[in-house]
Amino acid sequence: MLATRQFHASSGKRPWTFYALASLFGAYLLFLYGPMLVMYLLSFQGPNGGVTFPMVGVSTVWFEDIMRPGQMANIPVAFERSIALASIVSLVTMVVSVAAGLGFRRRFPGSGLLFYLAVASLVMPSLLVGFGIGLGFKALGIKADLLTSALGAQLTWTLPFGLFAMFAVVNRFDRSYEEAASDLGASAWQRLRHVILPILLPGIIGVGMGAFTLSYDEYARTTLAIGSRNTLPLEIYALISSATSPTLFAIGTVTTTVSFCAIGVTLFVIFRLQRRRKATALQFN
């Protein structure tokens, strides 16, 4: 295997499989990003244009259209709800995943069963989970709402994901860091505060970001558990089934921008964390 690779590297000739797989990957990229690029482009359609090419001029009227609460949907309000819900979901997921991740490092009676119970939610049909939660709230006489049933429904989705990701992060955490800390006189709280959390921080931020984006575009579980105040994906869906105009494309462009901003902010925070560490280091020079 290694010998073949070195042989090809030295002769500069790639096997035909390279070109076959590269073409396949290229086709995949086109399939993934092509339609999205078309959508971004068409969202700048002129005021008299339609939902297909050709572009009839260039304008931002469809973006302005989003901001006007329409009959079918109120996009700005739904957007605010989605951001608020996603932030709360992200926070809860981070806290619970870190606690569970640290707890699961040691085997305890029933830990296997508990783990499977927690992640089973990933394989259950999303729509039915949401339906069950909606039904349950109705049966108990509690009003289904954004921060009650919808929050719960989304957590059944983000928590198992967060748990899986945290297990991977925690598994790479060397136990001797903790032992060294307790050797140096750190209490349990100090170990968590000064050693465990800082070392795990990039992973924790990653889990938070993952939960945020999962929540931000969650549809299936939320739709039957949301009550009357819709999140953004639900509003968009209502809009798609009722009207077709480049406004939909504009919404797509804006929401994608928000997702990329979330990723950008996360990376920026991680970058700043590392730079601050270096900066504190430098001031002692």
CB nearer another protein, residue 101 or residue 160: 101
How distant, in Å, are the alpha carbons of 40, 93, 102, 241, 263 from that of 145?
Answer: 33, 19, 32, 23, 28
Interacting residues with another protein (CB under 8 A): 174, 176-177, 179-187, 190, 194-195, 198-199, 201, 277-278, 280-282, 284-285
Q: At its nearest, how many Å lie between another protein and the CB of residue 99?
A: 21
Integer Cα distance of 237 and 251 in angstroms: 11
Q: At its nearest, how many Å lie between another protein and the CB of residue 202?
A: 10
CB nearer another protein, residue 88 or residue 195: 195
CB nearer another protein, residue 53 or residue 177: 177
CB nearer another protein, residue 31 or residue 284: 284
Q: At its nearest, how many Å lie between another protein and the CB of residue 200?
A: 10
Burial grade of 145 (CB within 10 A; 0-12, 13-18, 19 or more): middle
Q: What is the dihedral of CA 169, 175, 179, 180, to 10 degrees?
A: -70
Integer Cα distance of 32 and 231 in angstroms: 25
First and final CA of the chain: distance in angstroms? 48
Integer Cα distance of 57 and 46 in angstroms: 4
Q: At its nearest, how many Å lie between another protein and the CB of residue 181?
A: 7
Q: Which two tokens stand for residue 280?
A: 């504190």
Integer Cα distance of 33 and 181 in angstroms: 48
Neighbours of 246 (CB within 10 A): 26
CB nearer another protein, residue 190 or residue 245: 190
Q: At its nearest, how many Å lie between another protein and the CB of residue 285?
A: 6
Q: Is 222 helix (H, G, I), strand (E, B) or coil?
A: helix
Q: At its nearest, how many Å lie between another protein and the CB of residue 274?
A: 9
CB nearer another protein, residue 101 or residue 252: 101
Residue type at position 272: R
227-239 as b/e: b if 16+ CB within 10 A:
eebbbbbbbbeeb
Q: At its nearest, how many Å lie between another protein and the CB of residue 177?
A: 5
CB nearer another protein, residue 123 or residue 281: 281
